[in-house]
Amino acid sequence: MSASFPLYVHIPFCVSKCSYCDFFSVPCAKKIDDEYIAAVLNEAAFTASLCDIDSWKTIYVGGGTPSLLSEKQIDFLFSGLLKISRKVPLEVTMEVNPSDVTESFLDAASASGVTRISCGIQSFSDSSLCRVRRRSRADDVYRALSLFDKNRPHSLSVDMIARLPEESDASFSSGLQTLLSYAPDHISLYSLTVEEGTPLYAEIESGKIRCDIDASDALWISGRDFLCGAGYEQYEVSNFCKKGSECLHNLAYWNLESYAGIGAGATGTFYGNDMSVRLTNTRDIGSYVQFWKSKKIDADDLRAPAFFSDDFRTVQVRAEQREKKRTVQVCTERGFDELPFSAEYIDKKTEAFEFFMMGLRMTRGICRETYEARFGVFPEKAEALFKAWEGRGLALRYEKNGSHFYALTKEGLLFLNEFLEAFL
């Protein structure tokens, strides 16, 4: 039976890496090689065949810096992805750096089927952007926003970070006010997170940069209140939007839906009745391209009957234990000997916890009936915990259209990790 899946595509290339970033990316001083895009499309075709996917529910192209793709590569990538899909995706998102935004770039993206642009602004402060090694500067941000005004994508999303180094409360608040004058449809507002292993972490540990995490959190709260007061709805911990402008692709993650991930370093998760699996591609871009460039599957072949079998929809797997990780080998008549990804098998107990962990990020919370249909009886421990948190004004239980929902309040979301730790 064919299915429609959200698709994440990873473009792991950056001109320079921000000091706070711990996402997988590699330096790319020159243009992205066409061979990488061709490899991605071959993997997409294989994934669609493997999982009996006949359409992409949504497409999200992230990175890295996808806006480093040339206009020809944008057409090459999206025309190839859309050729695989029988239906037009509900949403097609592409992440961009403000420095790369031009009128011709936006025209190319729109012509290729992109319906949603996600622009990483982060700050309007030059000193802050420079301090964390952002490639863009305030002038780039203003120029990009002006171009969005003239050549408006169907939906515009922007990212902001509260209190980057050298960002004052006043400059952050002024930046948010300026941002709203351009009326973006969606805003992701993050509190600065300092990840161990990043250059920013080392600079803070050494005392080279001063960072007050409590002050960052307080500034985030004031930013949240400002956005909500300006008519934006907080629908997830860090995400705000005008009515009807939620990110459909990310909702799939938070609702614990299966999704495909392609590209070097990308992850996809497939949930089954008896077994669920999370697949993570190799980060060795050379090996990734070398494998997939020779594994061409014509899109027309995807309509042939599936030749795999197993609970994981269509795949015969032979798993070997190696350093506490499982390597999946798929043997087929088409010669796919060993796929360049690792597999993590997810038991039902872990999956049920992830249902709470992801679902409670949303302000709507989780649905009891959905949980019970998927996992069985709703946990008594969760019921008691929600009741206790409700008494503290940090949670609420409500009924809608005959279904029962459990959610954290606006203030309760600030203590999501504490709730999950209590639930474990």
Supply the pTM of this predicted model. 0.91
* Residues 373 and 317 reside in one and the same domain: no
Tell whether 87 and 195 lie within a shared domain.
Answer: yes
Distance of alpha carbon 330 from the chain centroid: 27
Same domain assignment for residues 406 and 313: no
Same domain, 119 and 220: yes
DSSP state of 299: G
Indicate the residue among 346, 377, 397 that finishes a domain: 346
CATH (domain of 105): 3.80.30.20
Same domain? For 8 and 144 the reply is: yes
Where does a domain end: 346, 370, 391?
346
**Domain annotation covers residue 240:** yes
Q: Looking at the structure, do residues 16 and 153 belong to the same domain, yes or no? A: yes
Pairwise CA distance, residues 361 & 266, whole Å: 22
**Total number of domains constituting the chain:** 3
> What's the CA dihedral at 407, 411, 413, 417 to 10 degrees?
-120
Profile the chain (424 residues) by mean pLDDT over runs of 10 residues.
89 94 88 94 90 94 96 96 94 98 97 97 96 95 96 94 93 96 98 92 91 87 97 98 98 97 96 88 95 65 34 33 34 49 91 97 98 96 96 96 96 96 92
Sheet hosting strand 366-367, strand order edge to edge: 366-367, 403-408, 395-400
> Given this model, what pLDDT does residue 214 score?
82
The pLDDT score that the predictor gives to residue 329 is: 37
Identify whether residues 405 and 298 lie together within a single domain.
no
Q: Are residues 311 and 248 in the same domain?
A: no
334 in any annotated domain: yes
Mark whether 341 and 370 lie in a shared domain. Answer: no
Residue 103 domain-assigned (yes or no): yes
Domain membership of residue 352 (yes or no) is no
Question: Quick check: helix, strand or coil at residue 249?
Answer: helix
Peptide bond before 64: cis, by omega within 30 degrees of 0? yes
Which residue among 214, 229, 254 closes a domain?
254
Q: Could you list the residue range(s) of the whole structural domain that residue 341 is in?
A: 264-346
